[in-house]
Amino acid sequence: MEKAFEFYIRTTPEHLWEAITNPEIRSQYNFGAGAYSDWQRGSRVDLTAPRADRLLAEGEVLEVDPPRRLVHTMVALWSGEVRSEGVSRVTWEIEPVGDSCHLTVTHGELREGANAEIYGGWPMILSGLKTWLETGQKLTTPGSLMYG
């Protein structure tokens, strides 16, 4: 199973790439959590937050083509229910469109009937990313600042 999310964001591919890969920026729209990695193929990705009592997710970088494409695995660790879902794959694709970018995030390799907690936060996260890049403000959706 896979879930795809598409957004148009008024920004440059470079700013969008930085917002995805810089943990301090990412924490502004990603439930207060940053994704830490050196973003090289084969490198580890850790999703963590100062107020979290454990690692929230982990994965491995599979593809890197800045500022166009990033693919990494993800194992959700924030609860026992999601941990049992195992490894999934997240693909970020950035396409410039005039003064904006078309961002497609595909969360794939999910088992049929996977726990919605794994992919259900993407609309809040990506809406927060759009708001952050376009206004510099945090979007306060339910749970969006959970670990912030």
List the CATH number of the domain containing 59: 3.30.530.20
Number of structural domains found in the chain:
1
Q: Which residues contact 3 (CB under 8 A, 6 or more apart)?
A: 106, 107, 108, 110, 119, 122
**pLDDT score recorded for residue 119:** 95
Residue 92 belongs to what domain range?
A: 3-135
CB contact at 8 A, 74 and 99: no
**pLDDT score recorded for residue 140:** 83
Asked if residue 148 belongs to a domain, the reply is: no
Q: Tens digits of per-residue pLDDT, 5-51?
A: 999 999 999 999 999 999 999 999 998 999 999 999 999 999 999 88
**pLDDT score recorded for residue 141:** 74
Asked if residue 131 belongs to a domain, the reply is: yes
Is pLDDT larger for residue 95 or for residue 138?
A: 95
Q: Tens digits of per-residue pLDDT, 51-80?
A: 888 999 999 999 999 999 999 999 999 999
Asked if residue 147 belongs to a domain, the reply is: no
Asked if residue 19 belongs to a domain, the reply is: yes
